[in-house]
């Protein structure tokens, strides 16, 4: 069923991509490197039919009406997740005027440098040829506009119109994929196949927003303070600055406690929150517990899409650890540490390694608080004032850890627990525990 979650592990080690990466020289030769990579990308896209990952399983299971109905809902949801802005051009174009910045100042090299990703499968041979023969430049914003026209920039949706014979970006909006998809880098850093649900930890959302000509210097300073892979989904509402690590959107099937503070009982709650209050999509979000009440536009471009969007997200499994990425014998010993000496399974229980479906935890029980100096408690800004025990599947994929990213590695996570909870683990126990966490 779920190709997007299984493609990555199958292709991450594919010979073409690895070779392309190995052959790459240092960063100063970037344009040349990207040109070669784009050529490979196009060849691959053609070879694969460039279909963008439509589900074959859907066809096979068509005999079963209920399953095929779900499959088509999942397909719709994939389109929404990748390409739907819910009308948020009102924010990104009319208010922030990002289309002006992109079309005049953001060439592809700059776009990749702030962590934007390019979907290699969306690039037709003609674009690659243009880049190769020099009629399309990677240091020209016009190329970014061309990529947007192809829907090849992950998470950005542009409207490109011909004005005086020139392709001109007239509107731009963002989609869920901006923060919650990346690519497998199979052709070049930042260019490859889409990996939906994988957080984009390279993306400097704050730096991108700060390019807007419509913001004050004070607000820009806050956006510029966040750094790659972080975003504060409450700053524009409560004015407090405490960016969160962008979390995975995979591996959430069966969990009824959504976000690090468990604000919602299902994905649709938070999808509506982000779609309306952060992306700026048309619709309403009302939450009495935090006093947030936002309505954008006079139409509702979100509500009808929430069921399909949720179905797609729930189809995204966490990616299994790559073969050979951990020591199996040590992981087996680490499992015992997790269950006994480490007392981890008193909260990290069940299939997802979380007790989130039955309880939340006050900040006093959670090792990632207090926040770094000067940062307000994230729980205090949320609807629940508590934290959800984080699900642990796919941990290998998404360092840094904790809601605030205060643990750079799994070693740091284990050391934090050992010292904060006075566990008295030996060095060997800690290292076994790390191997176990890498195996989940
Ligand atoms: C600008 C970046 C950004 C965009 C765009 C964005 N998100 Fe998120 N998302 C975040 C951040 C940051 C969090 C962490 C919030 C928290 O834990 O309080 C989050 C949390 C989530 C979660 C909770 C995961 C969990 O572990 O419970 C889900 C699900 C999610 N987002 C889905 C979506 C969907 C669907 C969309 C599009 C409607 C979307 N996001 C758009 C940044 C973004
Ligand atoms: C009292 C309940 C509790 C116990 C005991 C506990 N955890 Fe946690 N764990 C949490 C909560 C709550 C979070 C989320 C904190 C946050 O987001 O900042 C978390 C987060 C984590 C994370 C980060 C996940 C991510 O996606 O960033 C890891 C890894 C982790 N715990 C491992 C462990 C290990 C290993 C142990 C045992 C040594 C342990 N936990 C014991 C409640 C607990």
| Cα distance between residue 169 and residue 150, in whole Å | 12
> CA end-to-end span of the chain, whole Å?
21
Average pLDDT over residues 248-275: 96
Mean pLDDT of 248-264: 96
Residue 31 has pLDDT above 80, yes or no: no
For atom 5 of ligand 1, the residue with the nearest CA is: 176
What pLDDT digit, counting tens, does each position of 62-92 carry? 567 788 888 899 999 999 999 999 999 999 9
Average pLDDT over all residues of the chain? 87
The pLDDT, as a whole number, for residue 180 is 98
For residues 295 and 298, what is the distance between their CA atoms, to the nearest angstrom? 8
Nearest CA to ligand 1 atom 43: 179
Q: What pLDDT is stored for residue 34 in this prediction?
A: 38
Contact 320, 303 (CB under 8 A): no
Q: 306: which 2 tokens?
A: 């929430």
On the question of pLDDT at 44 being above 60, the answer is no
* Ligand 2 nearest atom to the CA of residue 247, by list position: 26
So what's the pLDDT on residue 138?
86
What pLDDT, on the 0 to 100 scale, is given for residue 61?
59
pLDDT tens by residue, 138-154: 899 999 999 999 999 99
Cβ 29 vs Cβ 23: under 8 Å:
no
Q: How far is 92 from 3, CA to CA, in rounded Å? A: 31
% of the chain surpassing 70 pLDDT: 85
pLDDT at 26: 34
pLDDT at 57 over 60: no
- Point out the least confidently predicted range of 35-39, 59-63, 226-230: 35-39
**pLDDT band at residue 54 using 50, 70 and 90 as cut-offs:** very low
Q: Which of 44, 68, 66, 50 is nearest to 58 (CA)?
A: 68
Report d(CA 381, CA 291) in Å as an integer: 11
Angle at alpha carbon of residue 244, lines to 238 and 250, rounded to 5°: 125
- Give the confidence band of 30 by pLDDT, cuts at 50, 70, 90: very low
pTM of the model: 0.86
pLDDT (average), residues 28-41 = 37
- For the record, the structure tokens of 81 come out as 């997740």
Fold (topology level) of 328-438? Cytochrome Bc1 Complex; Chain D, domain 2 (1.10.760)
Instruction: Tell me the ligand closest to 341's alpha carbon.
Output: 2
Q: Which residues of 275-296 are buried (b: 16+ CB within 10 A; e: fewer)?
A: bbbbbbbbbebebeebebebeb
Q: For residue range 391-421, list pLDDT tens digits in order.
A: 999 999 999 999 999 999 999 999 999 999 9
Q: What does the pLDDT look like over 369-388, one tens digit per residue?
A: 999 999 999 999 999 999 99
Please give the number of the atom of ligand 2 that sits closest to the Cα of 406: 18
| Mean per-residue pLDDT, 215-228 | 96
Q: Which residues line ligand 1 (CB under 6 A)?
A: 174, 176, 178-180, 205, 231, 233, 244, 246-247, 249, 252, 258-261, 267, 270-271, 274-275, 278-279, 309, 313, 403
Distance CA 21, CA 189 (A): 8
300 compared with 25, residue with greater pLDDT: 300
The tokens describing 266, both together, are 């299902």
pLDDT category at 163 given cuts 50, 70, 90 is very high
Residue 287 in 3-state DSSP? strand
pLDDT at 33 over 70: no
Give the H/E segment covering residue 147: helix 141-149
What's the CA gap between 198 and 184, in Å, rounded? 10
Cα–ligand 1 centroid distance for 214 (angstroms) = 25
> Who has greater pLDDT, 126 or 17?
126
Q: What is the pLDDT of residue 128?
A: 74
Identify which of 387, 402, 429, 438 to mutate to test ligand 2's pocket (most ligand atoms within 8 A of the CB): 402
CA–centroid distance, residue 329 to ligand 1 (Å): 35
Closest atom of ligand 2 relative to the 410 alpha carbon = 29
pLDDT at residue 122 greater than cutoff 60? yes
Q: What is the pLDDT of residue 65?
A: 78
pLDDT surpassing 90 at residue 290: yes
Q: What is the pLDDT of residues 318-348, one digit of tens each?
A: 999 999 999 999 999 999 999 999 999 999 9
Domain parsing of the chain, residue ranges: 3-255+300-314, 328-438
Q: Please, are residues 417 and 423 in contact by the beta-carbon 8 Å criterion?
A: yes
């Amino acid at each position: 069923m779920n190709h997007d979650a299984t493609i990555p592990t199958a292709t991450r080690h594919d010979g073409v991509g690895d070779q392309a990466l190995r052959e790459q020289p240092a960063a100063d030769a970037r344009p040349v490197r990207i040109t070669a990579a784009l050529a490979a990308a196009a060849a691959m896209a053609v070879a694969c039919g460039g279909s963008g990952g439509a589900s074959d399983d859907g066809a096979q299971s068509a005999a079963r009406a209920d399953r095929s109905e779900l499959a088509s809902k999942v397909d719709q949801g994939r389109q929404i997740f990748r390409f739907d802005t819910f009308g948020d051009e009102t924010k990104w174009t009319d208010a922030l005027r990002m289309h002006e910045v992109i079309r005049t100042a953001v060439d592809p090299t700059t776009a990749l440098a702030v962590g934007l990703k390019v979907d290699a499968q969306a690039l037709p041979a003609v674009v690659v040829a243009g880049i190769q023969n020099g009629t399309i430049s990677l240091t020209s914003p016009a190329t970014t506009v061309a990529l947007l026209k192809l829907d090849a920039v992950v998470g950005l949706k542009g409207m490109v119109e011909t004005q005086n014979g020139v392709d001109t970006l007239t509107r731009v909006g963002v989609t869920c994929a901006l923060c919650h998809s990346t690519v497998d880098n199979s052709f070049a850093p930042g260019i490859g196949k889409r990996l939906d649900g994988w957080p984009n930890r390279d993306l400097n959302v704050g730096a991108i927003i700060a390019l807007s000509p419509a913001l004050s210097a004070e607000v820009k300073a806050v956006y510029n303070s966040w750094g790659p892979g972080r975003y504060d989904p409450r700053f524009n509402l409560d004015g407090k600055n405490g960016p969160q690590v962008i979390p995975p959107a995979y591996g959430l099937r069966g969990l009824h406690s959504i976000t690090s503070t468990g604000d919602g009982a299902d994905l649709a709650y938070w999808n509506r929150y982000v779609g309306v209050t952060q992306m700026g999509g048309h619709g309403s979000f009302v939450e009495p517990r935090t006093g947030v009440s936002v309505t954008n536009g006079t139409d509702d471009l979100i509500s009808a899409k929430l069921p399909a969007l949720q179905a797609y997200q729930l189809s995204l499994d966490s990616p299994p650890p790559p073969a050979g990425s951990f020591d199996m014998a040590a992981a087996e010993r680490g499992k015992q540490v997790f269950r006994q000496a480490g007392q981890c399974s008193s909260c990290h229980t069940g299939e997802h390694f979380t007790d989130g479906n039955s309880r939340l935890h006050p900040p006093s029980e959670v090792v990632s608080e207090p926040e770094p100096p000067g940062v307000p408690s994230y729980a205090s800004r949320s609807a629940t004032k508590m934290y959800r025990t984080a699900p642990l599947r796919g941990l290998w994929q998404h360092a840094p850890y904790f809601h605030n990213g205060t643990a750079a590695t799994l070693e740091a996570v284990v050391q934090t627990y050992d010292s904060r909870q006075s566990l008295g683990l030996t060095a060997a126990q800690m290292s076994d525990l790390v191997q176990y966490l890498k195996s989940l």
